Structure 1
């Protein structure tokens, strides 16, 4: 995704820079909280579970638009090949 997005002229991995980007946009009170949860393990904290499930929901639905634009228009892949790749990646998770 990172390489294809770069070819498209955009970056998709900006999480580590979000606080600075918020400050550069003029926000003066942008706080950052980093939650470290081992990959594949959900938190026992009810508030973190809500945040985690919301994040997963939004990422799954956002992925459809990203993958179609980046892989079909930027790389010229067919929708079927793109769907097959995403299916294989999701099986690994």
Structure 2
């Protein structure tokens, strides 16, 4: 049974390797942050194309009045939002 026993001490970092191991860990953390930032940018670059395909340049939803087209509802809502903040067409 002793042959199957896993000794975690055998996997421990030797005292003389502590500084190097810590440095590798910190570099891996920094690289992880850089990789994460690249992934987020790539995701939003990709998903933006899908949003623009579905909604055009307007990423907000617009209420549609009876018989109003999707495009007309976006234009009307953009005018409403512009007026709400004091802008004029």
TM-score by length of 2: 0.32
Between the two structures, name the one with larger relative contact order (CA 8 Å, sep ≥ 6): 1
Q: Which has the larger radius of gyration?
A: 2
Higher-helix-fraction structure: 2
TM-score by length of 1: 0.31
